[in-house]
Amino acid sequence: MEDASGLIARQYESWAYPPPFPDIKARLDTGYVQMGDPALYSAALWPEGRPRDRLRILVAGCGTVQAAVLAYTNPHCEVTGVDLSEASLAHERFLQDRHGLSNLRLYCGDLRDVAKIGRDFDFIISTGVLHHMTNPGAGLRALSETLAPNGVFVGMVYAATRRTGVYMIQDALRRMGVAADAAGVAFTREVLASLPQGHFVHRYLEVAGELQHDAALVDTFLNPQDRAYTVPQVFDFIESNGLAFQHWVEPSWYYPEGALAPGSALAERLLQLPLRDQWAAVEMLTASIATHVFMARPAALDPSIYLLDFNSDEAMGYAPLCAPGIQRTGPSHYQRGSIQMQLGPAEQALFENANGRRTLADLLSHPQLARLRDRDAFGRAVTAHLWKLGHLMVSKAPKHRS
C-alpha cells in the first residue's frame, strides 16, 4: 500500500493549498493574522522571554504562503519552509521574489527528513499537516528532535467534534468513488447542497468560509487521509512524542469562563475540575472546536520556566500585553474576532495600559486602581481571567520598565 505522503503530494500538486494570494502586504491589510506568528505572539510563546531576536524558524508543511508570510512579518529572523508539493513551493517562491524575502529558504521534501537540514530551530510551526500523515507521531517526533532546548512548537490538528459531519461525507464520497478532480469537486458541491437541514456537516460549514475555493473543498472532503483529535488525544499526541504541552493559542475555546455562559451552574461545576478535565468537557459540551492550535515545549525543559501561576508572588512581576486583533468598539466594549468583551472602569484601566512593558504591580499603581481595597487580588484575578479568554498575553519578562 502506498504511503499517504505520495497521495497527499499528488493532491497538492493539482490543488495547491491553502488558496494562494498574490501580495502579502495587501493580505495583511485585510486583517489576516497567522496564529502563533512570533512577530505578534512572542509574549505567549516565551513567557520567560524570547531566546533571541534573530529566531531560527521552521515552517513544516508550509503550503503556498505560510513560510513567505512569516519571513515577511519577521524580517530579522531566518525562516525555512518545507513542503512536499512543488506547486505550493512555486507560489512561495513567487511571494519571495515579489517581496524580496532574502531571509527565506525553501525545500521540497518530507518533514520527517528535516534533520537533514542540519540545524535546530527556536520556533517550529506545523499547521494542518501532521493529521494527514499515516503516522502523525513519527512526524511530530522528527520535528521535536530539531527543536532548540528552549524552543517552541506551534501545531494545529483537526478537532473531532465539529468535524463529525466532515467524516460522514468523506465516507460516503469514498464509497461512491468520487475522485479529487474537477468532476469530483462539482459532484461534492451538489452533495452538500442536497443534504437535509439536520445533517451534522452543517455545523462545520458554519465556520468553513474557505470552502468557496475548490482547493479547500478538496482538502476537506476529498483528501486521501486525515484524522481528528479530542483534547485528551492532543495531550497524548504531544507527550508521547518528545514534547510537553504549554497552552492553547486560542484559550477562550477551552475555558468554561469563555466557552460557556459565565456564572452558570454548568460553568461553576466545571471550574471544580482539574484544568485538563475542564478543557475536555468543554469540547464535548460545546462541539464548537474545529481545530486544536497548541504551543508545546521540549519535554526536558523545566516547565516552571514557562508556566504561569497567578497565585504566586512572582505574578506581580508579570507584564500583561493586549493580544493581537483587539478592537475597541465602544466606550467600554472590545472585540477580538468574533469574541466580544465589556469591561468595568477598573478592569478597563488595567487592560488599556497593558503594553508588555509595565508589570502588574506597575499597572495597579494607576489612579483608577490605587483606591481599590484589595487591588493585588483584583489585579491577579482580572489578569488571569483575560488571559484565559485570550485577550491578554502575559510575559514573565517585561520589555523594559516604564
Report which secondary-structure segment, H or E, holds 296.
strand 291-298
3-state secondary structure 323-385: CCCEEECCCCEEEECCEEEECCHHHHHHHHCCECCCCHHHHCCCHHHHCCCCHHHHHHHHHHH
Task: Give the tens place of pLDDT for each residue, 36-51.
Answer: 999 999 999 999 999 9
Q: Please indicate, yes or no, if residue 308 is contained in any of the structural domains.
A: no
Residue 2: pLDDT band with limits 50, 70, 90: very low
* DSSP alpha helix (H) spans, 222-259: 231-239, 256-259
Nearest alpha carbon to residue 296 among 226, 240, 356? 240
State how beta strands 339-342 and 333-336 pair. antiparallel
Distances (CA, A) of 308 to 318, 376, 388: 9, 16, 11
| The pLDDT of residue 292 | 98
Mean pLDDT, residues 234-254 taken together: 97
Per the structure block, which three cell numbers stand in for 37? 506568528
Residue pair 319/361 in contact (Cβ under 8 Å)? The answer is no
pLDDT reading at 67 higher than 50? yes
CA dihedral 206→212→214→220, nearest 10 degrees, is -10
Q: Are 239 and 245 in contact (CB under 8 A)?
A: yes
Helix (H, G, I), strand (E, B) or coil at 321: strand
Give the pLDDT confidence of 124-156 residue by residue, as tens digits.
999 999 999 999 999 999 999 999 999 999 999
pLDDT at 3: 57
**Is residue 296 scored above 50 in pLDDT?**
yes
155, 294 Cβ separation under 8 angstroms:
yes
Residue 8: its pLDDT value, please? 74
Would you state the pLDDT for residue 1?
Answer: 35
In this structure, the answer to whether residues 83 and 153 fall within a common structural domain is yes
User: Residue 399: is its pLDDT beyond 80?
Assistant: no
Q: Which of 172, 202, 221 is the last residue of a domain?
A: 221
The residue type of 160 is A
Indicate the pLDDT class of residue 401, thresholds 50, 70 and 90: very low
CA distances from 267 to 77, 143, 259, 391 (A): 42, 37, 9, 19
Structural domain of 194: 164-221
Q: Which grid cell sits at 240? A: 508521547
401, part of any domain: no
Residue 359 lies in a domain: yes
Are 266 and 234 members of one domain? yes
Output 279 or 14, whichever has higher pLDDT: 279
Average pLDDT, the chain: 94
pLDDT at 402: 39
Q: Mention every residue, 6+ apart, whose C-beta is less than 8 A from residue 397.
A: 47, 48, 49, 319
Using one digit for the tens of pLDDT, what is the confidence trace for 309-331? 999 999 999 999 999 999 999 99
In this predicted structure, what is the pLDDT of residue 255?
96
Pair (216, 231) in one structural domain? no
Domain presence at residue 40: yes
Lowest mean pLDDT among 206-215, 258-267, 344-353: 258-267
Cell of 49: 522571554
| 393 phi, psi to nearest 5 deg | -100, 155
Q: Are residues 113 and 153 in the same domain?
A: yes
- Are residues 129 and 241 part of one domain? yes
Residue 400 lies in a domain: no
Which residues lie closer than 8 Å to 13 by C-beta, 6 or more apart? 85, 86, 87
The total number of structural domains in the chain stands at: 3
SS3 content of the chain, % helix, strand, coil (to 5): 45, 20, 40
Inside any domain, residue 26: yes
Is residue 180 predicted with pLDDT exceeding 90? Answer: yes
Nearest residue to 66 via CA among 43, 100, 96: 96
Same domain, 57 and 156: yes
CATH number of the domain within which 334 lies: 3.90.930.60
Task: Note the pLDDT of residue 400.
Answer: 57
342: alpha, beta or left, given left = phi > 0 and alpha = psi -120 to 50? beta
For residues 253 and 344, membership in a common domain is answered with no
Residue 25 CB-density burial (10 A; 0-12 exposed, 13-18 middle, 19+ buried): exposed
Q: Is residue 348 part of a domain?
A: yes
Is residue 185 domain-resident? Answer: yes
Same domain, 317 and 240: no
Task: Name the residue among 388, 286, 397, 282 with its Cα closest to residue 341.
Answer: 388
Given 301, 330, 352, the domain boundary residue is 301
Same structural domain for residues 110 and 53? yes
Give me the sign of the Cα torsion angle 294, 299, 300, 302: positive
Q: Answer yes or no: are the C-beta atoms of 158 and 225 closer than 8 Å.
A: no
Name the domain boundary from 175, 192, 221: 221
The order of strands in the sheet holding 121-127 is: 104-108, 78-83, 56-60, 121-127, 147-158, 291-298, 243-248
128 and 45 share one domain: yes
Residues 263, 127 within the same domain: yes
Q: Give the model confidence (pLDDT) of 328-361 as tens digits.
A: 999 999 999 888 899 999 999 999 999 999 999 9
Are residue 98 and residue 115 in the same domain, yes or no? yes
